[in-house]
Amino acid sequence: MALLKESSNWTAYKERYDQVWLELQGCDEEKASKLLDRMDYEVLSVNQKIRHRLRPLNTKLLWIIPVCVISSMSLLYLLVVWVALIVE
């Protein structure tokens, strides 16, 4: 797939871009912002799109809670086994 600047009909794309820009100037600011955000997302590479989708999972609290639960359940299991060995 060729780059846009190497395309044979890049002038048609440039005219279409200019037309969209003129229409966008007459739109609401919120609508224009959403449209530009979607356009920015479409231009991203596949790796960047995956990283963008996983951004909410990048918080420390989201990883600390499951680790604490797993470790506390493991310690509880070890405590039960240890008490069972002492009682026996």
CB atoms within 10 A of CB 35: 13
- Please state the domain count of the chain: 1
% of the chain residues with pLDDT over 90: 28
29: in domain: yes
Domain enclosing residue 15, as ranges: 10-43
Q: What token pair was written down for 29? A: 């600011």
Look at the chain and count its residues: 88
| 88 lies in some domain | no
Regarding pTM above 0.75, the answer is no
Residue 76 placed within a domain: no
Position 15 in a domain: yes
Q: Is residue 19 part of a domain?
A: yes
14 part of a folded domain = yes
Element (H, E) at 22: helix 10-25
Residue 75 lies in a domain: no
Q: For 77, which DSSP code? A: H
Q: Letter for the amino acid at 64? A: I
Helices (H) and strands (E) in the chain — how many of each? 4, 0
Banded pLDDT at 62 (limits 50, 70, 90): confident
> Would 22 be classed as within a structural domain?
yes
pLDDT at 52: 84
Q: What CA–CA distance (Å, rounded) separates 23 from 21?
A: 5
Is residue 2 scored above 80 in pLDDT?
Answer: no
